[in-house]
Amino acid sequence: MKNKNKNKIKKVYLGESLLNERYRLGDKLGRGGLCKVYKSNDIYCEYFKDEKTFAIKVPLKKLLEKEDAAAFMYSEYKLLRSINHKNIIKVYDYGIDNNTSLPYLVLEYLEGSLLLDIPIYDMKKVLIRDLFAKVLETIKYLHSLNIIHADINPNNIMVLPSNEIKLFDFGISQHKELIEDTSLCFEKVNAYNPKYCAPEVLLGKKPSFESDIFSLACVFYEIFTSILPFKNTSQDLEKNAITFFSCSKKIPLALKFWFIRALSYDAKKRIQK
């Protein structure tokens, strides 16, 4: 990131200028390992009195310092553009600001609560099972398109007021058939959440369909039981595998064998796509 652009970019982040004379950034909605997301308005919509709110995703400084930051952002745009599913965030536009060279994504604005922020004790078991089924179905849909999300965690799943879900943050996601286009970015940034990460990914291997399933199992094991299925990291499962007897009694019986397989240390033993 060139020094002459730093102040210009800071003004964009503070909502003091427009991206490509069009998108005005408002309140910050969230921050991940590589990007920030802001509430945004489109002055074109305002001109035509069309009240429309968007979410704008822009890279953090550490991503901007990489030469391929714009390509990294575009890869997420290209991937999301190929997806059409009610439980996956929509993308509307990609751009590079003419004034600052700042790449950005224009996304669907979501109103709801992150799964991370919903107190577990407020969630009834029937709701947890419903959310689990919806997220699992969404991940299976992605896998049917040969897409690996690569960072399934409670901070990337939003629960809407209707109890529908939205999966987002596809920044390090990968298309299995186009793996060479995206794997370089993944290896450079390592922006996944290690708390819910499959053991083989922690060891440096590339994410897979099986690692997505493992992460999903970790997320919902924690929601069902209030604890993770291991003490420190998923590496613990090599010596302390989840069995029928060690699996928490809070896991519904009908799902117990699914969790046991999905949390296998050996990826080959997990649920196949």
Which of 108, 140, 160 lies at the terminal end of a domain, its last residue?
108
- What is the CATH number for 45? 3.30.200.20
186 has a pLDDT exceeding 70: no
210 has a pLDDT exceeding 80: yes
Q: Sign of torsion, CA 155 156 161 162?
A: negative
The pLDDT > 70 percentage for the chain reads 92
Residue range 186-207: mean pLDDT, rounded: 83
In our burial notation (b when 16+ CB lie closer than 10 A, e otherwise), range 146-179 reads ebbbbbbbbbbbbbeeeeebbbbbbbbbbbeeee
Check: CB of residue 69 under 8 Å from CB of residue 59. Answer: yes
The pLDDT > 90 percentage for the chain reads 77
81 has a pLDDT exceeding 70: yes
80 has a pLDDT exceeding 70: yes
Nearest to 1 by CA among 57, 58, 75, 78: 58
**What pLDDT was estimated at residue 82?**
94
Q: Residue 182 — very low, low, confident or very high, per pLDDT cuts 50/70/90?
A: very low
- How many domains is the chain partitioned into structurally? 2
- What is the CATH number for 129? 1.10.510.10
Check: CB of residue 232 under 8 Å from CB of residue 218. Answer: no
More confident residue, 10 or 132: 132
CA distance 92 to 136: 25
Residue range 189-215: mean pLDDT, rounded: 90
Q: In terms of domains, do 78 and 122 share one?
A: no
Q: In terms of domains, do 137 and 101 share one?
A: no
Listing DSSP states for 47-71 in one string gives HTT---EEEEEEE-HHHHTSTTHHH
Q: In terms of domains, do 133 and 187 share one?
A: yes
Which of 57, 84, 108 lies at the terminal end of a domain, its last residue?
108
pLDDT digits (tens, 9 = 90+) for 159-173: 999 999 999 999 999
pTM reported for the whole predicted model: 0.90
Check: CB of residue 134 under 8 Å from CB of residue 193. Answer: no
CA distance 177 to 246: 38
Domain span at 35:
3-108
227 has a pLDDT exceeding 80: yes
Give Cβ neighbours of residue 119 (< 8 Å, ≥ 6 apart): none
Which of 77, 108, 139 lies at the terminal end of a domain, its last residue?
108
Q: Residue 190 — very low, low, confident or very high, per pLDDT cuts 50/70/90?
A: low
**What pLDDT was estimated at residue 179?**
52
Residue range 218-240: mean pLDDT, rounded: 97
Q: What is the DSSP letter of 122?
A: G
Q: In terms of domains, do 61 and 158 share one?
A: no
Q: In terms of domains, do 81 and 169 share one?
A: no
Please report, as a single letter, which amino acid is at residue 49: K
Give Cβ neighbours of residue 40 (< 8 Å, ≥ 6 apart): 23, 24, 25, 26, 53, 54, 55, 56, 106, 109
